[in-house]
Amino acid sequence: MRGLIVTGIGTDVGKTYVATVLAAGLGWPYWKPVQTGAPPDRETVARYGVVSWPERYHLPLPAAPLVAAQKAGLSLSWEVLNAPPPAAPLVIEGAGGLFVPLTESHFMIDLFAEWALPLVLVVRPYLGAMNHTWLSLEAIQRRGLPFLGIVLNGTTGDVSEGYFRRAFPLLGEMPWGPLNDPARVFVESGLAAALQAHLSLPSSSSSSMRGGSKS
């Protein structure tokens, strides 16, 4: 297992939150290959003691990478973008959703296809999220990409959340709020148990998995 990719059904669904929990729980470094806006998400992740790798591109405008690059007078190189990740294993976070443009002819999902790592899809249960989740899953399936399941992020007890639990493979769920102890959330959200099954991780928290106890 060389790592996994955290993507989302859109922007501001909590990808960095989930990626932090995964990286802290698994003990893997974090990497976001393309960052737009400031400060970079790796600074947020670093507050929790997670090691991170620098971005291949960091663009100041908080927009789609293609747009942010054009605003900065740059052109993103597909050869630079799709080079193998800098280390393994990694928790890799994508920018925005699957069809955020990187270049005039490439999207985030094209980058994920190059690396062929298992995908975790972050879902925030807002109005319209069911449609966005199905569209994302259809795109993943059409390209034959490895898919682990969804993380339901921002649960409030709304009746609509039951649909996501029934309709999609659920790895874990988290309430919306501040992140105090990501390794503990890794266990309490159900992610530790789910990923142990999916990734053949050891059942103890000794080597590959942290936060095996709630104490």
Residue type (1 letter), 47: R
Q: Note whether 123 and 137 are within 8 A (CB).
A: no
Q: How far is CA 204 from the centre of its chain?
A: 24
Please provide the DSSP assignment of 36-49 as one string: ESSS-HHHHHHTTT
Choosing from 15, 32, 71, 214, which is the catalytic residue? Answer: 32
Q: Write out the two tokens for 170.
A: 């659920």
Sign for the pseudo-dihedral over CA of 131, 128, 95, 20: negative
| Residue 214: active-site member | no
Catalytic residues: 32
